[in-house]
A and B are shown apart, each in its own frame.
Chain A
Amino acid sequence: QITLKESGPTLVKPTQTLTLTCTFSGFSLSTSGVGVGWIRQPPGKALEWLALIYWDDDKRYSPSLKSRLTITKDTSKNQVVLTMTNMDPVDTATYYCAHRWVEDIFDYWGQGTLVTVSS
């Protein structure tokens, strides 16, 4: 059974760096074809694709946020970490991590974690 769970701060100040951790079980990020992605959703708004890391350490980012994002994996801990620098109130959102399946679709999602950016 695949599960994912996001963790990290619920409140960050403007200009700070956000670090979110996705801890997963039921699969290994060392298995060919596997990936973990991050998606966010501002309150009342649509989903936004942020980043994706593959089993072979290939990393893909949203071009609009690429300069601020870093995605890494720790295969031994079954974790994927997303860092976002220079946080702004417009980055207030629920952040989800998800399991990448065939053709890059997300078939399993974490519950999401709400991050508020405010001074």
Chain B
Amino acid sequence: DIQLTQSPSFLSASVGDRVTITCRASQGISSYLAWYQQKPGKAPKLLIYAASTLQSGVPSRFSGSGSGTEFTLTISSLQPEDFATYYCQQLNSYPFTFGPGTKVDIK
């Protein structure tokens, strides 16, 4: 299985901050990476796929980059509704594993 790690695991930030989350894969996965946002008690929501393609309806303050083994999710200006947990998922090979998550909390 391909293992994903995320850093940091927890992040405290203020509204308006620029936030960057990193996802690293145990082996190269080209651009087969997606990012999801999950709020407490809710299902995950797809934000980005193919490493950098913004899902329809997702605000442009979210962006993704990277390829191979290192990827980043950036929120350019954190909004109150962005406080949540973020997961990366690799789609290069089965099983399509998820990262351990990064919780973004209010400072």
Interface residues of A (CB under 8 A from B): 39, 46-49, 52, 60-64, 96, 98, 101-107, 109-112
Asked whether A96 and B43 contact (CB < 8 A) given A46-B101, A102-B49, the answer is yes
Kindly name the residue among A101, A105, A106 whose own CB sees the greatest number of chain B CB atoms within 10 A: A105
Closest A residue to B96 using CB positions = A49
CB-defined contacts of B96 to chain A, threshold 8 Å: 49, 52, 104
- Tell me, yes or no, whether B16 is within 8 Å of chain A by CB: no
Question: Within 8 Å CB of B49, what residues of A?
Answer: 101-103, 105
* Nearest CB in chain A: distance from B10 CB, A: 13
A-B contact pairs, 16 of them (CB 8 A): A46-B99, A46-B101, A47-B38, A47-B44, A49-B95, A60-B94, A63-B1, A64-B95, A103-B50, A103-B91, A104-B96, A105-B91, A106-B44, A106-B46, A109-B45, A112-B43
- CB under 8 Å from chain A, chain B span 14-71: 32, 34, 36, 38, 43-46, 49-50, 55
In the complex, the answer to whether A109 meets B43 with C-beta atoms within 8 Å is: yes
Residues of B contacting A64 with CB < 8 Å? 1, 95
Question: Which label, helix, strand, loop or mixed, suits the secondary structure of the B interface?
Answer: loop
Max chain A CB contacts within 10 Å: which of B46, B100, B101? B46
How far is A61 from B96 in the complex, measured between Cα atoms in Å?
10
Chain A CB within 8 A of B83 CB: no
- Please give 19 more A-B residue pairs, beta carbons under 8 A apart, in addition to A47-B89, A111-B43: A46-B100, A47-B36, A47-B98, A48-B98, A49-B89, A49-B97, A49-B98, A61-B95, A62-B95, A64-B1, A96-B43, A96-B44, A101-B49, A103-B50, A104-B91, A106-B46, A109-B43, A109-B44, A110-B43
Check A46 against B87 for contact (C-beta < 8 Å).
yes
Separation of A111 and B43 alpha carbons in the complex (Å) = 6
